[in-house]
Amino acid sequence: MSVAMEIDDRWLATPDLDMAIERSPLQISPETGVREAIAMMSQARGSSCYFSSDNELEKSLWGNQNPSSCALVMEGGKLLGILTERDIVRLTASEMSFDRLKVSQVMTQPVITLSQENFRDIFAALFLFRRYKIRHLPLVDEKNNLVGVISPETIRHAIRPANLLKLRRVADVMSKNVVHAPKSISVVKITQLMAQQKVSCVVITEEDEIDNILIPVGIITERDIMQFQSLELNLSSITTEEVMSTPLFLISPEDSLLKAHQEMQHRRVRRLVVSWNWGQGLGVITQTSLLRIFDPMEMYGVIKTLQRTIEKLEVENHRLSDIVKNIKG
């Protein structure tokens, strides 16, 4: 068997789908208060998934715990709705009072689900993520009972794409549609920008009047908003400068996706700001962006490129072997 075929088989092998399921997601009742739900989401920890591997790089890439980014609204064993970080941002942007507000009044419903029978590969989940622009996909059995939740984070536990990440650049998947704001505005204004533009973060910038460029100095994310709400901060009177995450670690479009992913894991963040041309260009790469490399057509293209490279190396290897034989002969 050729090296090219071995590469093909190894990369297209079916991942352990069981590792892509969070089987103990946060569950709350519809009567739960929104403030209580936010506190539970802030304190919850996702289960860590470990796999038997001697590759320390892979272990460092995929082992992580975070506050829960969603809560499933259940009653009598039935899934009624879902509350996510994005919902909390939307509610904050509306300046709605959370006092006496119940989850049943604001949860997203109906919930897009995936049947366990149809979960035969990761592409089924990726298709639904993209089609419905969601990041949490409850998995149900044939009786519509909850099995668990699939998310971009859990999918990364099931696959080890280190080679793919090495071969692709940040520029291939980053978004140039960056929403930015000055550090003087209130946090509520930030949430309104997130809700209007449908983004998960806002980059905080300062203007350099001499060079006429925007300098990224901080960031505020959906998870930050959830944490601020759990602390019951008055977000209309707090400026962005007081609570933004700073200083920023900036990454280049030419960096590999592997480097981007390693930095996210090391810094325990889900997105990085991309900067180039001495600050004239601005982008964002997220953990969800990384899933684009698992698009079937994308993977096929990368594998074909690898095959061509390997075939060239094999031809060169045969040529060098013939030269060596001729010299010895």
pLDDT digits (tens, 9 = 90+) for 212-229: 788 899 999 999 999 999
On whether the CB atoms of residues 86 and 136 are closer than 8 A, the answer is no
pLDDT at residue 22, rounded to an integer:
93
pLDDT tens-digit series, residues 239-282 = 999 999 998 999 999 999 989 988 988 888 889 999 988 777 89
> Radius of gyration of the chain from Cα atoms?
23
What span, in angstroms and rounded, lies between the C-alpha atoms of 137 and 21? 10
- The fraction of the chain above a pLDDT of 70, given in percent, is 80
- What is the SS3 assignment for 216-251? EEEEEEHHHHHHHHHCCCCCCCCEHHHHCECCCCEE
pLDDT at residue 161, rounded to an integer:
60
pLDDT at residue 289, rounded to an integer:
86
What span, in angstroms and rounded, lies between the C-alpha atoms of 166 and 258? 5
- pTM of the entire predicted model: 0.77
Band (pLDDT 50/70/90 cuts) for residue 159 is low
Written as six digits, the tokens of 4 are 């090219």
On whether the CB atoms of residues 207 and 316 are closer than 8 A, the answer is no
What span, in angstroms and rounded, lies between the C-alpha atoms of 161 and 315? 27
On whether the CB atoms of residues 51 and 19 are closer than 8 A, the answer is yes
pLDDT at residue 237, rounded to an integer:
95
pLDDT at residue 136, rounded to an integer:
95
Q: Higher confidence at residue 294 or residue 115? A: 115
What span, in angstroms and rounded, lies between the C-alpha atoms of 226 and 243? 13
Instruction: Report helix, strand or coil for 285.
Output: strand
How many Cβ atoms from other residues are within 10 Å of residue 302's Cβ? 16
Q: Which of 221, 282, 220, 223 is nearest to 251 (CA)?
A: 282
Q: Mean pLDDT, to the nearest integer, of 26-52?
A: 77
pLDDT at residue 127, rounded to an integer:
87
What span, in angstroms and rounded, lies between the C-alpha atoms of 87 and 137? 15
Written as six digits, the tokens of 141 are 């059995």
pLDDT at residue 311, rounded to an integer:
73
Helices (H), 94-151: 103-106, 122-132
Q: Mean pLDDT, to the nearest integer, of 309-320?
A: 75
Calculate the average pLDDT of the chain. Answer: 82
pLDDT tens-digit series, residues 124-151 = 888 899 899 999 999 999 999 999 999 9
pLDDT at residue 269, rounded to an integer:
87
Q: Higher confidence at residue 216 or residue 320? A: 216
